[in-house]
Amino acid sequence: MKIALVSEHASPLAALGGVDAGGQNVHVAELARSLAALGHSITVYTRRDDADGPDTVTTEAGYRVTRVAAGPAEPIPKDDLLPYMDEFREVLAQVWREDRPDVVHAHFWMSGLASRSAARAVGLPYVITFHALGEVKRRHQGSADTSPPDRIEIERDLACGAARVVATCSDEAFELTRMGVEPSRISVVPCGVDLDTFTASGPAFARSTEGRCRVVTVGRMVRRKGFATVIEALPDMPDVELVLVGGPQAGNFDSDPEVERLSSTARRLGVRDRVRMIGQVSRADMPALLRSADVVVCAPWYEPFGIVPLEAMACGIPVVASAVGGLLDTVVDGRTGALVPPRDSSKIASAVNRISRDDQLRKTYSINALERSLRYSWDRIAKDTVRAYSRIDRTATDSSVAGTR
């Protein structure tokens, strides 16, 4: 099949850990790689955010990335990209008229917006994976949500008009049905984990302090990732050193307001000497970093999927996670780690203390975590995604909404 993956802000070629570059970039890159390995012809369309380099590159993994000129060729926060989606759509329609794909799979709502009308121009239905839902974001972030005001309504239209919606977890499927999507049009296909890279054996980063338990937490440095909650747990975890990974690139680190906010929380609680903020870590270094942990903590307020817990589990590390979103599907409470209520630092502390102070329990969780991660190979996820494509309702070309609004 000739498959077009559209991911307007999340390029598979981007560095990870910045405010807008995380799991979706990994998902699109790995899905493209694995679909190409199955013999499909894959092009990823993403917005050009720098002026250098060709429009289309072929990656070593065998898929193409086409960088679409839509708006200035410079980084723009994803919540400010909506005005450029008409340009994005025009380029897609032009390219697809000349070289029609068999399947259009949009990632994130704005890609859906551009893909819907471009696909309609060539008589194709579209598939969509939202990666995050505006409705859920608004529920948790309230007035701090910087999404364009129409997002929730547009997502509802996109979800209901798609030939197929690929949800990444059962919680998302539930949200989609609440939005009015026919359950028969939803496929649940989770994100995967690169099981060749994230392995239990291999080098581990050295500890800075011998004898202390090491807790690692990884993510884009945005409030909803709950880094502050993990810091707030430290007074109740006296033998723990905490390594925080992600955030701005070196050079911009110390002046970043979120870094400063977290540092001052740590200072106020008298635990600053036990918090190491190491900024962005490359993909290549991530397994060694995760292996250096006794426990990985993922404490988001909400989480559409969450690839980090799977990466940790594939390295044989128990995970303590908020009982939200995709983490409810991946982390098994009392088997591979613990699920705790979101924003509850004392529950995080008691779960970490229980696991880190009991070698036998930690080893058991480690074995179970590793075993569970094996069901999330990208090869399997790619095959399940193709199965979802094969169930496309070809009549669902969504005639109800014109243009990209």
Could you tell me the maximum CA-CA distance found in the chain, to the nearest angstrom?
A: 64
- Closest separation between CB of residue 318 and ligand UDP, Å? 17
With respect to ligand UDP, which residue has the nearer C-beta, 163 or 293?
293
Give the dihedral of Cα atoms 229, 232, 234, 237; nearest 10 deg: -80
Residue nearest ligand UDP, CB atom distance: 22
With respect to ligand UDP, which residue has the nearer C-beta, 26 or 339?
26
Contacts of 341 (CB under 8 A, 6+ apart): 322, 323, 347
Query: Three-state DSSP class for 393?
Result: coil
Ramachandran area for residue 11 (φ above 0: left; ψ -120 to 50: alpha; else beta): beta
With respect to ligand UDP, which residue has the nearer C-beta, 160 or 218?
218
- Closest separation between CB of residue 197 and ligand UDP, Å? 10
- Closest separation between CB of residue 261 and ligand UDP, Å? 18
Contacts of 173 (CB under 8 A, 6+ apart): 167, 183, 186, 188
Q: CA–CA separation, 35 vs 77, rounded Å? A: 29
With respect to ligand UDP, which residue has the nearer C-beta, 305 or 365?
305
Tell me how crowded residue 275 is: count the other CB atoms within 10 A of its CB.
21
With respect to ligand UDP, which residue has the nearer C-beta, 134 or 246?
246
- Closest separation between CB of residue 90 and ligand UDP, Å? 29
| Residues 235, 270 contacting (CB under 8 angstroms) | yes
**196-228 residues labelled b (16+ CB within 10 A) or e (exposed):** eebebeeeebeeeeeebbbbbbbbbbbebbbbb
With respect to ligand UDP, which residue has the nearer C-beta, 29 or 91?
29
- Closest separation between CB of residue 396 and ligand UDP, Å? 28
- Closest separation between CB of residue 22 and ligand UDP, Å? 2
Binding residues (CB under 6 A) for ligand UDP: these are 16-17, 22-24, 26, 218-220, 245-246, 280-281, 283, 286, 305-308, 311
